[in-house]
Chains A and B, each alone.
Chain A
Amino acid sequence: MESTNWLALLERTQIQKVMESNQYTEQYGLTLSEQDAEILAQERKSTLIEQKRVEFGESILPRIIYEFCDSAFISQSNYVESLTRLQEIFFLYKNEMLDEISDEELLNFMKEQFETVCFGDFDYLEGTCLDIFAQAVRAGYRGYQQTGGRGEYAEFDEVLRWDRELYLEVLRDLCWK
Chain B
Amino acid sequence: MYDMNELLPVVARLTKRYTGIESSSVSYEKANQLMGAVIYCIREIESGEVGALVSRQQNAMQAYQAGAELVRKKTEELLRFYECYKKEFCAYGNVYLSDFWNKGMPAFFAHYDEQFEPQNTILTLDYPVLSDLAQYQGIDLVDLYVRSVVAEQQFLAMFGEAYVREVLRAYCADYAELPENLAAIVFGNVIGHILAGKKLTDRLCEADLQKISAQYAFMNMEENSGFQGQISELAAAFLAQHFAGEESVQQYMMMGLPDICTRIGNAAAYGNLDKVFVF
Contact = CB atoms under 8 A, between A and B. Distances in A.
Interface of A: 1-2, 4-7, 48, 52-60, 63, 91, 94-95, 99, 102-104
Contacts, number: 57
Size band of the B side of the interface? 10 to 19
B83 interface: no
A54 B16 CA distance: 12
A2 B2 CA distance: 12
A56 B12 contact: yes
Contact of A1 (B6, B8, B15): B6
B11 interface: yes
28 contacts: A1-B59, A5-B5, A6-B5, A6-B9, A7-B5, A48-B25, A52-B28, A53-B25, A53-B26, A54-B15, A54-B25, A54-B27, A55-B24, A55-B25, A56-B8, A56-B12, A56-B26, A57-B12, A57-B16, A58-B24, A60-B24, A60-B25, A63-B24, A91-B25, A99-B23, A99-B27, A102-B22, A103-B23
B31 interface: yes
A4 B5 CA distance: 8
Closest 5 CB pairs of A and B: A56-B12, A102-B22, A52-B28, A54-B31, A60-B24
Contacts of B27: 52-54, 95, 99
B15 A94 contact: no
Given A56-B15, A60-B24, A94-B23, 18 more contacts: A2-B5, A2-B6, A4-B5, A6-B9, A48-B25, A52-B28, A52-B29, A54-B25, A56-B16, A56-B31, A94-B25, A99-B23, A99-B26, A99-B27, A99-B30, A102-B22, A102-B23, A103-B22
A99 B27 CA distance: 8
Main SS at interface, chain A: loop
Nearest to B3: A1
A54 B8 CA distance: 11
Interface string B69-90: 0000000000000000000000
A58 B24 CA distance: 6
Contacts of A48: 25
A157 B6 CA distance: 48
Nearest to A8: B5
A58 B25 CA distance: 9
Contacts of B31: 54, 56
Contacts of A1: 6, 59
Contacts of B26: 53-54, 56, 99
Nearest to B59: A1
B116 to A, nearest CB: 14
Contacts of A95: 27
A107 to B, nearest CB: 11
Contacts of B22: 102-104
A63 B25 CA distance: 13
Nearest to B35: A54
A62 to B, nearest CB: 10
A117 to B, nearest CB: 25
B262 to A, nearest CB: 48
